[in-house]
Amino acid sequence: MPAIFNALPGIEVPVGSISSSLAKMWADTAASGGPAPVKGETKATQVNFVLHLGFNSTAADAVEQFETAVRFSRRYPCRVVVLCPSSDDASAAEIRAKIYGECFLGKSKGDTRCCEFVLLSYPSSARKFLENQVSICLSTDLPLYYWAHRFSASGRLADYRYLLTRAHRVLLDSAIAPADALTYAWPRPEKVRDLAYARLLPVRQSLGQFLSRYPMSALCGGLNAVTLGYGIHLAAEARVLLAWVQDRMGQGGENRATFELVSSTEAAPQALALAFTYADNKYFSWRGDAGTGAALFLADFGTGRTELPAAVSLLTPENALSEAMFF
């Protein structure tokens, strides 16, 4: 994990002088003519955001998630604390810190948006001191969002109860999280959000808009089976999408149809294929490939055949973050 800390950008500073170092960083940036917050104005104006890079993260992966957080902050100015834990219990109980900041122009000339990052690297032996350090780094009057990325075991996050209980949202990605992540007894399970579900927002909107044209009786009457095929890169998204479809179809009253996931090695890696099978001549199918951006609806619910080409996409990582956080 020190390799991850070293790979991330920022200026290393003493842990005890993070606040003064941030002030000096902005002052030096302004003195050199760079974009910086106006003195006295709030720099992290909207949210506190903790990005926890778990033991399964690599240096390249950590840099990618850091850049995602930077892009997110361009829309939602925030104070970001990046946690870089180490499993080396034999090392000294020492926390290392880096600081990083950027300012971006908003929609108008006077709309300057700034973000501040505090990066903390710590061995397991220093975990007990982390809560106080994180609380010092956060803005006390702003909501907190906690993103646990590539953690090795759900139970290990119990050590971060301070974040799990205080956070307005706890974010994880079931595509890369441990198998029990969505069923684990989190302290506040109603606050947990899955980034795989968030990424599917455009798909859910497209399917919902198409199917909402038909009464639920037409969709559910005589329905025998619902199958969802998927390419190798979208196993988690397929599981989430099928659960969403099953929930919506269940709102149509008694429904004894089977719901099945079908993995396809022949399908494109980012493809999904949803099909409804009926006892009569009705049918529905939708195929989409997020790799190409193309999708196709085929349907007949007793009122004539419909064939509709459409677009398909998944949310970008930074937009998936905002969807999971705020909606």
Q: What are the extents of the domains in the chain?
A: 2-195, 201-315
Are 4 and 51 a contacting pair, CB within 8 Å? no
- At residue 131, φ and ψ (nearest 5 deg) are -55, -45
Of 273, 300, 271, 304, nearest in space to 284 by CA: 300
Listed residue (95, 103, 123, 134) closest to 1, CA to CA: 123
Contact 313, 271 (CB under 8 A): no
**pLDDT, position 44:** 45
Identify which has the larger pLDDT, 25 or 250: 25
Q: Which of 132, 202, 133, 189 is nearest to 157 (CA)?
A: 189
How far apart are the C-alpha atoms of 129 and 177, rounded to whole Å? 26
What average pLDDT does the segment 138-154 reach?
94
Rounded to two decimals, what is the model's pTM?
A: 0.93
pLDDT class for 116, splitting at 50, 70, 90? Answer: very high
The answer to whether 106 and 112 are in contact (CB under 8 A) is yes
- In angstroms, what CA-CA distances link 213 with 39, 223, 303? 54, 17, 11
pLDDT band at 46 (very low <50, low <70, confident <90, very high): confident
Residue 104 has pLDDT above 90, yes or no: no
- Is a pLDDT exceeding 90 seen at residue 24? yes
Question: Which residues 6+ apart lie within 8 Å of 179 measured at CB?
Answer: none
Q: Give the pair of three-digit tokens for residue 281.
A: 């001549």
> How far is Cα 46 from Cα 38, in angstroms, rounded to an integer?
17
- Among 6-20, 94-108, 138-152, 196-210, where is mean pLDDT lowest? 94-108
C-alpha 177: how far from chain center: 12
Tell me: pLDDT of 40 over 70.
no
pLDDT at residue 255 above 80?
A: no
CB 82 within 8 Å of CB 8: yes
Tell me: pLDDT of 56 over 80: yes
* Whether pLDDT at 87 is above 80: no
pLDDT at 86 over 90: no
Which strand (E) or helix (H) includes residue 295?
Answer: strand 294-300
Once rounded to an integer, what is the mean pLDDT over residues 53-57?
95
Secondary structure element (H or E) that encloses residue 26, with its range = helix 18-31
Tell me the residue ranges of DSSP E strands in 106-204: 112-123, 144-149, 169-172, 192-194
The model's confidence at residue 18, banded by pLDDT at 50, 70 and 90, is: very high
Distance CA 123, CA 132 (A): 15
Residues 303-325 pLDDT 10s:
999 999 999 999 999 999 999 99
Least confident stretch, 81-90, 119-128, 262-271? 81-90
Stretch (H or E) spanning 260: strand 258-263
Whether the predicted pLDDT of 212 surpasses 60: yes
The confidence score (pLDDT) of residue 91 equals: 52
Q: What is the mean pLDDT of residues 223-232?
A: 96
Q: Please tell me the CATH code under which domain 201-315 is placed.
A: 3.40.30
